[in-house]
Amino acid sequence: MKLKSLLLGAGLALGSLNASALNIVLTNDDGWSTPGIQAMYQVLTEAGHTVVLSGPLDGQSGSAAGFNIGGLEITKEAENQYSVAVAGGETGAEPATSGIVGMQILTEMTGGQAPDLLISGINDGANVAGATTFSGTVGAAIASISYLNGQSVPAIAISADEHCDEELPLEESTCIEVAEFTLSYLNHLLERPAYVNGDDALIPNLRALNINYPAGTPMGVMTARQGLQPLLGGRAIGLEWGCSTSCAELEVGETAEGGILGTIDFSDFEDIDEADSVYFSQGYITVVPIRGSYDGGAQGLKNYLNTYDY
């Protein structure tokens, strides 16, 4: 656990030009043109980084680390900015797919240099605790570190509550503030002695960072663990899916309507120690190291499973 005081506002960007210039792929799950990703592109390029923005044509929230295996349509929307759609051009590709496409574009653009980093976001809405697994923003970061396209690229997923409203023009939001914090935190990573000395990766051990920025003025920064509490739209709730009528009584060939039937209250849920959900609800920026492996550890359970006689 780590608490770091913040100096918010324009001062966050000071010194950013002194950081090593990186080749960065930028993606998201809200769509290539939304305020969050555009704010991130503006701040990173002004700091001297080489950035390729490659995002879904439209919103693909909740897609986790899913990817497309069919044809794609990739459109250059602006200098170094691309939208990615599935064949037909009407629906956006998955965030993971969009990020990987961006890696190929950046590698070609730089004459064969691999990306140094993928940043996914800024997402409009937090991705903490139990919601993290289903996030397309986080899923793109997981795909980046997973060797899915033959290489593992360090990644940061960045999400914010109430700063990057998609209904507001960028200049009317506080999204730039979140982007400037992300740049400041990136500069902090670039100063890590093991990285400076060439002994370690920017984010070591095939991990990514899931960063969440709260509404209002943050209390500070807390390095945390991914909590378990379901949090959706800033509320401690789960969702109940099912049939609107009894599916158990359907005849073969009959169809019933269904979907989200309601919510389940988790406001009294006691989360794990150092949970991001707890710190985030207290007004802290949370930083959680994450990885793509589903290995659950559980050595005691493994010892018993190994006794199965086949």
The answer as to whether 129 is a domain residue is: yes
Query: For residue 62, what are its two tokens?
Result: 């909740």
Range with the lowest mean pLDDT among 206-210, 230-234, 249-253? 230-234
How far apart CA 208 and CA 52 sit, in angstroms, is: 19
Domain assignment present for residue 108? The answer is yes
DSSP secondary structure string for all residues of 243-260: ESS-STTPPTT----EEE
Look up the pTM and report it. Answer: 0.88
- Reply yes or no on whether the pLDDT at 172 is more than 90: no
In this prediction, residue 230 carries a pLDDT of 81
Check residue 101 and give its pLDDT: 96
Instruction: Please tell me which residue, 121 or 235, carries the higher pLDDT value.
Output: 121
Domain range enclosing 208: 3-227+271-296
Do 236 and 120 lie in one domain? The reply is: no
Same domain, 235 and 284: no
Does residue 303 form part of some domain? no
More confident residue, 245 or 13: 245
Strand partners, 275: 225
The reply to whether 19 and 69 lie within a common domain is yes
Is the distance from CB of 159 to CB of 119 less than 8 angstroms?
no
* Rg value, the chain, Cα: 20
Name the β-bridge partners of 75.
Answer: 83
* Whether 135 and 236 share a structural domain: no
> Distance between CA 97 and CA 139 in Å, rounded?
10
Please check whether residue 141 is in contact with residue 96, taking contact to mean a CB–CB distance below 8 angstroms: no
Residue 68 domain flag: yes
Same domain, 287 and 214: yes
- Distances from the Cα of 165 to the Cα of 19, 49, 169, 170, 237, angstroms: 29, 25, 8, 9, 22
| Average confidence (pLDDT) over 261-271 | 87
Any domain includes 37: yes
Phi, psi dihedral angles at 226 (to 5 degrees)? -70, 120
pLDDT tens-digit profile of 34-45?
Answer: 999 999 999 999
Helices (H), 84-202: 95-109, 136-144, 175-190, 193-196
Residues 24 and 162 occupy one common structural domain: yes
Run of H or E residues at 53:
strand 50-56
Q: In terms of domains, do 200 and 292 share one?
A: yes
Task: Tell whether the model's pLDDT for residue 50 goes beyond 80.
Answer: yes
Average the pLDDT over 182-193 and give the result: 95
Number of domains in the chain: 2
Asked if residue 309 belongs to a domain, the reply is: no
| Residue 63: strand, helix, or coil | coil
CATH number, residue 17: 3.40.1210.10
Note whether 265 and 182 are within 8 A (CB). no
pLDDT digits (tens, 9 = 90+) for 51-85: 999 999 987 888 888 889 999 999 999 999 999 99
Chain segment 214-249, per-residue pLDDT in tens: 999 999 999 999 989 887 777 888 889 999 989 999
pLDDT at 304: 83
Which pLDDT tens digit goes with each residue over 135-160? 999 999 999 999 888 889 999 999 99
